[in-house]
Amino acid sequence: MTPSQTCTLTPRPRGSLRRTPLGNRKNVNTVFKSPVQQPNSQWTAGDEDTLEKANSELKEKEASLDKEIAELEAQGYSLEELDKHISLLHEYNELKDIGQTLLGHLAVFRGVTTKELYSEFGMDLED
């Protein structure tokens, strides 16, 4: 097209442009209904017994876990040590993922399998 020529665009009819497909059209002016279930506010005697039993079981489990925590602390374990180990495991896994990615790229570059690279670099498949 030369600079002296003008370009004219023919607009499309409004009906040909649709943002949503036709079919099961829902009314957007309806009342919002939450997918989260509301707890039932009406309790029966059977429900109360069930809740009391569940509460009792949870208290027993809490006491058992408290006892286990006390035993572990008596053996010298600490929460700070556990947090440090978890942090170090996350770091190890991130580094291992980076290493796996690099091995994958190198294998593609060389046209070999990553399994072949493991043996080349003296690594075990379990590494």
Query: For 64-83, what is each residue's pLDDT tens digit?
Result: 999 998 998 899 888 888 88
The confidence band for 61, taking pLDDT boundaries of 50, 70 and 90, is very high
Long-range contacts of 77-80 (CB under 8 A, 24+ apart): none
Whether 112 contacts 106, CB under 8 Å: no
What span, in angstroms and rounded, lies between the C-alpha atoms of 90 and 86?
6
Whether 92 contacts 81, CB under 8 Å: no
Length of the chain: 127
Weakest mean pLDDT among 46-55, 90-99, 100-109: 46-55
* Greater model confidence, 110 or 37: 110
Report which DSSP code applies to 113: -
What span, in angstroms and rounded, lies between the C-alpha atoms of 65 and 73?
12
Q: To which residue do tokens 């079919």 refer?
A: 23
For the cut 90, the answer to whether the pLDDT of residue 98 exceeds it is yes
What span, in angstroms and rounded, lies between the C-alpha atoms of 80 and 25?
56
